[in-house]
Amino acid sequence: MTASASPALASHAAIEDAAVLIRKAERAVVLTGAGISTPSGIPDFRSEGSGLWAHDEPMEVASLHTFRTFPERFFNWFQPLAGQIFNAQPNAAHVALTEFERAGHVRTVITQNIDGLHQKAGSQNVVEVHGTLRTLSCTNCFKQYEAAHFLAPYIATGKIPQCLNCNGILKPDVILFGEQLPQSAWYEAERAARQCDLMVVAGSSLEVLPVARLPMLALDRGAHLIIINNTPTYLNVRADVIIMDDVATTLPKIAKRVFHG
């Protein structure tokens, strides 16, 4: 079964096919990317013209090397993005995934995003494979803090967050270029992908490794695959359902079909 829809409007058939797969699944996993957060006002990184990397060289502003040698450069670049993330609110797509989880249709949300919007929407089992902006860690004594207390003055004034224990610089617990993925989160993501009977890719172009390989782990174990994204992915040829549309409009439509027929 392969259903597809135009970029302008997800077809009734594709929505229905996705709803059927979600209703039947016993171990569904959702993999989300930047496309689920852009409707909440958070820019993505790779879109031509509008993505963050259209204006900045990532290795110069968002690498671990830059953070260690010239942290001021990282914090100057990150300040406006941190403000957008800090003030963002979940959209209808995040809410739909929370509803799926509460109803037992989705076991795990694996996200490439650092914004914490899944948790704000109420999702409980979220695996953040690229880290999170919800916490900061001291680069000197390694003490970890909740980010909210430090982010507000940083966003307002540019003041670099400092440890209350030793005055060391606090690094957001996000994964920078040249930095390893958090091991426990990655193992959990791999395990969820291997054990699922359905994977839903929502708002990810599947271009960033190693996360882009997770759907293949699911497919190799016989899982079904739904892809909801504005642009094609390398796995469209393997998907049961393809919906090339905005996830913030598509997921609520699927949720309506799942819960109300």
Give the tens place of pLDDT for each residue, 159-183: 999 999 999 999 999 999 989 999 9
Q: pTM score, two decimals?
A: 0.90
Is there a single domain that holds both residue 153 and residue 79? yes
Beta strands 170-174 and 224-228 are: unpaired
What pLDDT was estimated at residue 60?
75
On whether the CB atoms of residues 227 and 218 are closer than 8 A, the answer is: no
The region of weakest confidence among 6-10, 13-17, 128-132, 220-224 is 6-10
Give the tens place of pLDDT for each residue, 53-99: 445 566 577 899 999 999 999 999 999 999 999 999 999 999 999 99
- Domain count of the fold of the chain: 2
Is there a single domain that holds both residue 125 and residue 208? yes
Return all residues near 213 (Cβ < 8 A) that are at least 6 apart: none
The answer on pLDDT for 31 being more than 90 is: yes
Q: Is 149 a catalytic residue?
A: no
Among the listed residues 94, 105, 118, 130, the single catalytic one is 130
Domain that holds residue 140: 43-87+132-174
Is there a single domain that holds both residue 27 and residue 102? yes
CA atoms within 13 A on the CB side of 217: 17
